[in-house]
Amino acid sequence: MKWFTLPLALILASCASSIAQTEQAPTNFDSIPPDITEFMPQPAILVFSKTREWRHNKGIAGADRFFAETAGYTGMGLFTTENAAVFNSEQLARFNVVVFNNMTGDTLSPEQERAFQDWLEQGGALIALHGSGDNSHGDWHWYDKQVIGPEFIGHPAGPQFQKARVVNLATDHPVMVGIPAEFSKVDEWYSFNTAELGDAVPLLGLDEDSYSPANLRYGPVQDLRMGGGPQGHPIAWVRCPGEGRVFYSAMGHNYTSYNDANNIRLLRNAFEWVRTRDAERKGCPQF
């Protein structure tokens, strides 16, 4: 029996060690770039929707359709993918605008993250939507802190989707042309750990008295109020890292957001602004 139990113990210990090593192994990132036809019209839009955390299926579908229509009316090329290996210098050079369509989790390798950072800071244009600004991006410090900025802390639950009053915080900004001083919209409303955006310009804020900013369903009651009126609860902003331009909107959980007239106008304005290369860099906070 002793001869038998000793090898068995060793086998079990070896298995436990293998399991621990597997759990601590680095994420398996996409390594083979997608094929992109040589006939894709130029300039072009890249829409990226890979998720390794929560997947907003309906929001992704709505935004995919929106940017397909955008490519149609602008005459631009369009490539949609969940393959993160597209983030290499050669393929990124074929795109004028990148959309992070509810991207969540640790989706890019360190090399892919660096390729995107270089592309953006050297004059690229990014539109990031809803889940692309949640708290699942901490592994990518530059993106998490310098592109998005505030940390997502939660959204209401019970009810999850609510109509709220949205306030225009930057009436003179190019992205806000045609956006009313205030409007109502139904969405899943994000709260963040701070309203301080650093070198970003806040575009839209929430009136917390117009909805219930509380999590009443998951665990203990959590008050998600940020305080300070609409200015204290920003939900859309822009910033200009290096020579690039970034627009982020916390709206867009569901496909219905992309049928909303004010959101359509906002996204169309944002699209034109991020891809504009005017000498004065109008709307960039550091200019």
How many other C-beta atoms are found inside a 10 Å radius of the C-beta of residue 151?
15
Residue 12: both structure tokens together: 């079990």
Whole-prediction pTM: 0.90
pLDDT of 280 reads 82
pLDDT of 281 reads 87
Q: How far apart are CA 129 and CA 126, in angstroms?
A: 10
Quickly list DSSP for 234-249.
EEEEEE--TT-EEEEE
pLDDT of 19 reads 38
Tell me the Ramachandran region of residue 129: left when phi exceeds 0, alpha when psi lies from -120 to 50, beta otherwise: beta
Taking the CA of residue 151 as centre, how many other CA atoms within 13 Å lie in the half-sphere pointing to its CB? 11
pLDDT digits (tens, 9 = 90+) for 189-217: 999 999 999 999 999 999 999 999 999 88
- Smallest CA-to-CA distance from 251 within 230, 231, 266 is with 266
Low-confidence ranges of the chain (pLDDT < 70): 1-27, 219, 221, 286-287
- Smallest CA-to-CA distance from 239 within 201, 281, 280, 279 is with 201
Tell me the chain's radius of gyration from C-alpha atoms.
Answer: 21
Q: What amino acid is encoded at 220 in this protein?
A: P
- Return the CATH number of the domain spanning residue range 44-275: 3.40.50.880
Strand-pairing partners, residue 167, are: 182, 205
pLDDT of 167 reads 98
- Smallest CA-to-CA distance from 61 within 70, 52, 49, 45 is with 49
pLDDT of 87 reads 98
- Smallest CA-to-CA distance from 275 within 143, 74, 63, 126 is with 126
Q: How far apart are CA 107 and CA 85, in angstroms?
A: 10
pLDDT of 93 reads 98
pLDDT of 2 reads 37
